[in-house]
Amino acid sequence: MHDSFNVPGFLGNGVAAGIKVGGRKDLSLIFSEVPARAVGVFTTNRFKAAPVVLDMQKIQKGIAQAIIINSGNANAATGKDGDEDAASMSAAAAEVLGIDDELVLVASTGIIGEKLPIEKITRSIETLVGGLSADGMPSVAEGIITTDRFIKIECRKSSIAGKEITICGIAKGAGMIEPKMATMLSFIMTDAAVDQACLDTVFKECVDRSFNAITVDGCMSTNDTVILLANGVAGNNPIDEASGGLIEFREALLSVMDSLAQSIVRDGEGSTKLIKIMIEGAKLEADAKEIAYAIANSNLVKAAFFGEDPNWGRIISAAGATRVQFSTDSLELYIEDIPLFINGAGVSGKRAAEIMKKDTIRVLVRLGMGKEAFSLYTSDLSHEYIKINSYYHS
C-alpha cells in the first residue's frame, strides 16, 4: 500500500510505548539491513539534549545501522540521568536488533526538563523490532510527531548511470499544542552508494538550502537533528566528485529535503500561510541572509501577513534595522509581481491586498548592491500561535 515510501534495504516501525497520552505512537525505529554511511547535523544550541550529545559522538565514525526515536519527552536539560537514559535506549535497541551498540543512533522530542520514562521504552523494544517492515516508514513518521497536524514523508527516485536509486525522508516539525515541546527532527534514507566525503558535502549543502532556510519563530530547539543514512543497496558505482551521478543525486536529495522543510513551515505553530522571502542583489550572501531572517522573524511583518495586510513599511523597516549596508534609494520591494517600494518611496499597489489572501506568498527584496541572494520560508503569526504557546502546562 505504501510501496512508494519504501527504500530498498530499509525497514521501519512505530509503536505506542505510553510516553504520550491517549495511546498514540511515540516510539519509532529505522533499521538498515546492512550498515549504512551516516552523516548528520545537529542543533548548535549550547543546551543540547542528551541524545544529540550521544549522536554527535557516534556519528563521527560515519557509519550507522539503526535510529531509535521517541516523541513525548525531549530528554533535554536532564543532567546525568538524561545521558544514561539515552545510552540505555541505544543499548536496548542494539541488543534486540543483534547489532553493535555503536551502530545505533538516538533521537528524542517533547517536553524539556522531565526525566525520560526509560522503562516504557525498553519494555516496548521487542514489539518495535518485531514489527519492522519495508512498508513501515509511514508508521515511523507517525511515531516521531508530537502534535504536528500531518505526518511528513517525501520520496524521490533517480537514475544514476542506469541504476535506480531511491531517497525517502521523514520529518517532524514545530506543530506543537503543548508548551515545552519543540524540535525539528528529520531522517533521510537512501539506497544509493555514495562516497563518504562527497555524501557529507552534499548533505550539508542541502541542509543549508532546506532546513537551515526556514523559520517559524526564530527559536532554536535543544534537539534539532537531521540524519542521512545511505546503505548502498542500489548497487550503483559509488557516487563521488568524479562520477556523473552527483548532480542528479544532489537534486533528488535537495528536492526531498526542501519539500520536508516547506511542510514544517506550513505545519508551523498556528501557521496559516507559507511565505517565501527572497533577497536579491546583495553584496554578500551573509547580508542577504541577515535581511531575510530579519524580515521573516519580525512579529510585525508576520502579524501583518496573518491579517492579510500588505504592510510594506514593516518589511523595509525590518531590512533597515539590520547591520547590512545598503542604499534606501536603491532598494526595491515586491509582493509577488507587485512593486510596493521603488526609488526611495512607496508605490500604490492596489492589487497587493488581493494577493495577500493567497496561502503561499512570495516577497522579493532587491538591494541593488551586488549579485548575491538568499531565500527562506517563514509562516505568519496568528492567534493560534499564542494559544498553543501560552496554554498552561506544568
Q: Which three cell numbers stand for residue 41?
A: 547535523
Interface pick for its own copies out of 173, 182, 236, 366 (rule CB under 8 A): 182
Binding mask 363-382 for its own copies (x = CB under 8 A): ------------------xx
Note whether 393 binds its own copies by CB under 8 A: yes
Query: Is 201 an active-site residue?
Result: no
Nearest to 246 by CA among 201, 207, 210, 204: 201
Question: Would residue 342 be called left, alpha or beta, if left means φ above 0 and alpha means ψ between -120 and 50 degrees?
Answer: beta
Which of 7-15, 99-107, 148-156, 302-310 is the region at the interface with its own copies (rule: CB under 8 A)? 302-310
CB 149 within 8 A of CB 269: no
Least distance to its own copies from the beta carbon of 181, Å?
Answer: 9
CA distances from 321 to 120, 246, 315 (A): 49, 40, 10
Smallest gap from residue 201 Cβ to its own copies (A): 25
Q: Decide whether 127 or 311 has the Cβ nearer to its own copies.
A: 311
Q: Does 321 bind its own copies (CB under 8 A)?
A: yes
Query: What number of other Cβ atoms are within 10 A of residue 393's Cβ?
Result: 10
* 67 to 86: interface string for its own copies, x by CB under 8 A: -------x-xxxxxxx----
Considering only 124, 158, 166, 221, the residue that binds its own copies (CB under 8 A) is 221
Contact call for residue 158 and its own copies (CB under 8 A): no
Nearer to its own copies among residue 144 and residue 174 (C-beta): 174
351 binds its own copies (CB under 8 A): no
Amino acid code (one letter) for 199: L
Give the nearer residue to its own copies in terms of CB position, either 80 or 371.
80
| C-beta of 55 vs 308, nearer to its own copies | 308
In angstroms, what is the minimal distance from the CB of 79 to its own copies? Answer: 3
**73, 110 in Cβ contact below 8 A?**
yes
Type of residue numbered 151:
I
Question: What grid cell was written down for 339?
Answer: 512593486
- The grid cell for 26 is 511515540
Task: Return the number of the residue (17 or 76) whose C-beta is nearest its own copies.
Answer: 76
C-alpha cell at 194: 555514495
Residue 394 touching its own copies (CB under 8 A): yes
Binding mask 86-115 toward its own copies (x if CB under 8 A, else -) reads -------------------------xxxx-
| CA gap 261, 258 in Å, rounded | 5
Q: How far is Cα 48 from Cα 27, in angstroms, rounded to an integer? A: 21
User: What does the angle CA 298 – CA 214 – CA 293 come to, to the nearest 5 degrees?
Assistant: 35
DSSP class of residue 194 equals B
Core vs surface per residue 118-149: b (16+ CB within 10 A) or e: bebbbebbeebbeebebebbbbbbbbbbbbbe
Instruction: Return the residue of 134, 284, 303, 355 that touches its own copies, per CB under 8 A.
Output: 303
Catalytic residue among 78, 183, 190, 215: 183
Give the range of 59-67, 254-262, 313-321, 358-366 binding its own copies by CB under 8 A: 313-321
Q: Is 157 in the site for its own copies (CB under 8 A)?
A: no
Give the contacts of 254 (CB within 8 A, at least 6 positions apart).
206, 209, 210
User: What stretch of H or E contains 90?
Assistant: helix 79-97
274 binds its own copies (CB under 8 A): no
Q: How far is the CB of 26 from its own copies (least distance, A)?
A: 19
Of 218 and 244, the one with the shorter C-beta distance to its own copies is 218
CB of 319 to its own copies, least distance (A): 7
Of the pair 63, 220, the CB lying nearest its own copies is at 220
- Dist CA 225 CA 350 (whole Å): 43
SS3 312: helix
For its own copies, give the closer residue by CB, 237 or 343.
343
Q: Is 292 in the site for its own copies (CB under 8 A)?
A: no
Q: What are the φ/ψ torsions at residue 259 (nearest 5 degrees)? A: -65, -40
What is the binding site for its own copies (CB under 8 A)? 44-47, 74, 76-82, 111-114, 179-180, 182, 217-222, 297-300, 303-304, 306-314, 316-321, 326, 328, 341, 343-346, 353, 381-383, 385-394
**Which residues belong to the active site?**
183
